[in-house]
Every structure is written in C-alpha cells, then in structure tokens.
Structure 1
Amino acid sequence: MNRTLMRVWQVGLLLVILLVWYFASNASDNVAFFFGKPVEVAQKLWRWFVTDADIYKHLGVTLVETLLAFAIGTLVGLGVGLWLALSPFASAVLDPYLKAANAMPRVILAPIFAMWFGLGIWSKVALAVTLVFFIVFFNVYQGVREVSPVVLANARMLGANARQLMRHVYVPSAMSWVFSSLHTSVGLAFVGAVVGEYLGSANGVGYLILQAEGSFDINTVFAGIVLLTVFALVLDGLVGLAERHLMKWQPSSGQTEKL
C-alpha cells in the first residue's frame, strides 16, 4: 500500500478515536469521570507547556532517567549478550541465574534501589536498566548464536581472526535482533523511570501523574499519559532512523518481495 495512503488511514483512525472520546465524554458524566475529556486534556498540556510552563523541569527529569537507563541497559545487555554467546562454558554456568532474574517481577526491586541509591534519579535509572537489559541481552545472545556456520567457516577459511569475526560476522548478524529489542526497550525505559517516580520522588512526569490520581484529576492523568507516549514515539523514531542508517546493507521489505 502507498505510504501516503497508509498515513491518511492512520491519521483518520486517530481522528475517529478522538471524536468518539469527545462525544462520549460530553454525553456521559461517567465516561468523563473515568476517561476525562479530550479538550480538557489538551488544555492541560497547553498550560504545562505554554501558559504555566511548569512541565519542563519534570519532563527533563523523566527524560534524563529514561535516556540513562536506555543507554546503560543497552550497552550492558549488548556486552553480556556477546560474551555469553561466544563463551559456552560461562553461558551454561550462568543460564539458570539469568533465567531466574528475568522471571522475577523486577518492579519489586524499586524499594531496594531506593534504599541503595536514595530517592534521586539513580534509583529510577537502576530499575529501568533491569527492564532494558534483559530485552537487549536475550536478543543479542540469540542473534549471535544463530550466525550461519557456513558464513563462519568461510570467514575463517579466508583468514579472519577473532576480532575480524566479531566485527564482520557476529555483530552484523546480531544487529537486526538488537534494533528489534531497542524498539521495545524504549517503552520499558519509560516504564522503569515512571514506576520509580511513583514509589518515591518529588519530580518527574510520574510524580505529577501520581499527584493527579490522588485528587481524582483524570484529565491530568491522561495528559501525562499522552506526554509520555509522544516522547516514547519520538525516541522510537530516533531508534528507527539509526536502524535505517546502520542497516543499509540489509534489503528493504519491498526489495525482498521483488526478489
């Protein structure tokens, strides 16, 4: 389908959702109480950014926490994933521990991180890192393990050493898996930051949403949700740009279909 036509359909669906929300919230007080009113949500966002201009400090805190967690979790997950994928002995030893850590509901670590790192940004970063790390780690690990033995044999036959194999075979093979995990990790980094702010903070968008929930201000809650969603989409778009730049060698879906 033509990309422009697809965008038209996507924007049209958004408009339909907003119109249904608008008319339903104006027709029923119950709907307005539980879902808010889109006009009032928009007005709240306008006050945050223009009239009162008091959102920037809170948004900055949440973005810093998210970006730090995203960067640290990605780098550590990438490094550990490569190491264990290329070290069968270490992988076999650590396998049950990694599975146990991944199975644990990591949100319960938030109070522990608050005790260790205090109520500043680092307790939120630590929680979000635990969410990002495992997504990246398992994707990198799987991507490296699925390198074609034929490609490896050919590279070795041509005289490639361990460093060249890493650069030209293992890393390119894992890149598609890495970017797939990064698209998911963006949202999880926001989740970790916001949940941490819920449990103890005086700043951040999560803190504002928590205060609004305490006073049953559903419009502010939805304004915070919209704000976080928009910035998560922006970061996901930046990941997509990096993916298209670094994965130029990979054929597009259209080219694949023609082949």
Structure 2
Amino acid sequence: MATLDHARPAKNDASLAEVERIAQRKLKQRHALVIALRILVLVVVLGGWELGGRFKWIDPFFFSMPSLIFAQIIDWFVNGTSQGPLLVQVWVTLEETMLGFLIGAVGGIVCGVVLGRNQLLSDVFSIYIKIANSIPRVVLGSVFVIALGLGMASKVALAVVMVFFVVFGNAFQGVREADRYMIANAQILGASKRQLTTSVVIPSALSWILASLHVSFGFALVGAVVGEFLGSKQGIGLLISTAQGAFNASGVFAAMIVLAVVALSTDYLLTALEKRLLKWRPAAF
C-alpha cells in the first residue's frame, strides 16, 4: 500500500508535466499560425496593390505601388531627402515626440493622481478639464506655430497637449478605482496620506497608467508630425508635406511607412517596460 501511495503522486506529476508540454506546444503552434497569417495578409495586400498598379486597375500616380515606395525609401537612405539625411529627419521627429510624450505623460500622471486623491480639487477643475478636452487639439497646432515659431517648441507643445488628456483620464480613473479595502487597512495600520498614495494608490493605478502610454505615444507622434506639417524646418511631417506639394505619392507612403516602423518599435519597448513593471499581474488567458 505504501508503494502505491508513493506511486500516485509521481503519476500525477507526470500527467501534469505532460499536460503542460501539450499546452506549450499548442501555444507555439498558435503563435506560428498567427505569424504565418500576418505574413499572408501582408503578401496578399502588397501583391494586389502592385498588380493593381501595373495593370492600371488603380492609378499609380495617386496611389503609387509597393515597388516604387520601396525604391523611394532606398533612395532616401542612399542619397538623402531634400531636407537632409533621412535618419536626421527621423531623429528630429522622434526627439519632438519623446519630449512631448514625457512631458505630457508626467503632467497627466501627476494631475490625475492629485485630482483623483483630492475631491475638492476634482470638483473645481473638472469643468475646465472637460472644456479643454472637448476642443479639437490638432487645431492648436497653428496657434503653437504662430506663438512658438517653426522650431521644436511648437511641435513639442502640440504633442504634450495630445498626450496629457489621455494619460490624465486613465490616471484619474485608476486612482478612483483603487481598492478601498486595501486603503482602509493601510489607514488602520497608521499609513499617512503620502504613504497611501505612493504605496497603495499609485501601484493600484499602474495598470491604467501603463495602458494609456501605448495609446498616448501614438498621439504624441501624431502631434509632432502635424506640427511639422503645419510649419517646420526638418522632420517627417515636412517630408510628407514636401512630397504632397510635388504630387509624389511614393514619397508620402514612404514617409508613412517610416513613421509606422518608428511607432511599432517604440510600442515594443513600452510593452517590454509594462511586462517588467507588472510582473506580479497574472498572465491573460
């Protein structure tokens, strides 16, 4: 009987290990399937686009073709753009985006936490925040260009405005959704308001805040590019504006692809940061 009792746990462990191996194999197969389908969709879209342009089903003057767009990107890398080297244009736009993103995100988090923790301030400023948030923020780009000139400041200002309200809304809601029982327990244990905020409320709102960063970086990039489009000396937005003025559809699409690569690369970094900061969170099913 003792031998049987010892054999059963070993058998159960072997069964669990086998189930885990099967689950891991299925996850790998699904991941491979997703990648294969993504590549298939890309090939079908680009192939159909290329064939449509070559057989004149669509006008390549207005919609270009993948081969022409790829050639335009290569030409920019090799010979540079009309504003200078392509990497310089990318760096200028990325610098404006990052500055606007950082300033807007920090400001949004601070204001969201402060107003979320202070009911009086929330009641006083909520109406003004709603009014400011209802204004189409892109139209402020012209105001910033007039007030701050064609330099980096006007693009950063527009990016800040684009980011601030997204992060603020999530931070504010995350603070309000903090676990009341955990806050009450911390108060019973003698935690001060500062300790409550830093040790309980902000960690509880971290998921909300990090979720907003993925979206808000895209808004920061849009703000920087729109600002450059309205008036600038360098940047991807100016590159798009110049290509549009020359009726160069390949240049417009090429600049859009460069922006997409920048956005995807940054989103990957933000995802890695989120995973590092939220190791304690259970994995999603």
TM-score in terms of structure 1 length = 0.94
* Pairing of 1:25-36 with structure 2 (within 5 A): 25-28=53-56, 30-36=58-64
Q: Which residue of 2 aligns with 1:96?
A: 127
Q: Is 1:227 aligned to 2:231, yes or no?
A: no
Q: Which residue of 1 aligns with 2:49?
A: 21
Contact 2:174–2:204, Cα closer than 8 Å, also in 1: yes
User: 1:29: Cα distance to partner?
Assistant: 6.3
* Pairing of 1:1-259 with structure 2 (within 5 A): 2-28=30-56, 30-52=58-80, 54-254=85-285
Q: Which residue of 1 aligns with 2:12?
A: none
Partner SS state of residue 280, structure 2 = coil
User: 1:142: Cα distance to partner?
Assistant: 0.3
User: 1:51: Cα distance to partner?
Assistant: 4.3
- Measure, in 2, the Cα distance between the counterparts of 1:136 and 1:76: 8
**How many residues are paired up?**
254
CA RMSD in angstroms comes to 1.4
Partner SS state of residue 72, structure 2 = helix
User: 1:113: Cα distance to partner?
Assistant: 1.1
Runs of 5+ unmatched residues, structure 1: 255-259
- Alignment-mate amino acid for residue 271 of structure 2: G
- Measure, in 1, the Cα distance between the counterparts of 2:77 and 2:191: 55
Partner SS state of residue 108, structure 1 = helix
- Alignment-mate amino acid for residue 31 of structure 1: D
- Measure, in 1, the Cα distance between the counterparts of 2:107 and 2:280: 26
**Higher mean C-alpha displacement, 182-191 vs 5-14:** 5-14
Alpha-carbon deviations, 1:203-243, whole Å to 9, x = none? 11110110111111000000000000110111111110100
| Consecutive aligned runs of 4 or more in structure 1 exceeding 6 Å deviation | none
- Measure, in 2, the Cα distance between the counterparts of 1:31 and 1:176: 46
TM-score in terms of structure 2 length = 0.86
**Higher mean C-alpha displacement, 11-20 vs 175-184:** 11-20
Contact 2:96–2:155, Cα closer than 8 Å, also in 1: yes
Runs of 5+ unmatched residues, structure 2: 1-26
Percent identical pairs in the alignment equals 43
Q: Which residue of 1 aligns with 2:9?
A: none
- Alignment-mate amino acid for residue 147 of structure 2: W
Q: Which residue of 2 aligns with 1:257?
A: none
Which structure has the bigger radius of gyration?
Answer: 2
- Alignment-mate amino acid for residue 97 of structure 2: T
Partner SS state of residue 59, structure 2 = helix
- Alignment-mate amino acid for residue 181 of structure 2: V
- Alignment-mate amino acid for residue 214 of structure 2: H
User: 1:179: Cα distance to partner?
Assistant: 1.3
Contact 2:68–2:250, Cα closer than 8 Å, also in 1: yes
Partner SS state of residue 12, structure 1 = helix
- Measure, in 1, the Cα distance between the counterparts of 2:176 and 2:167: 14
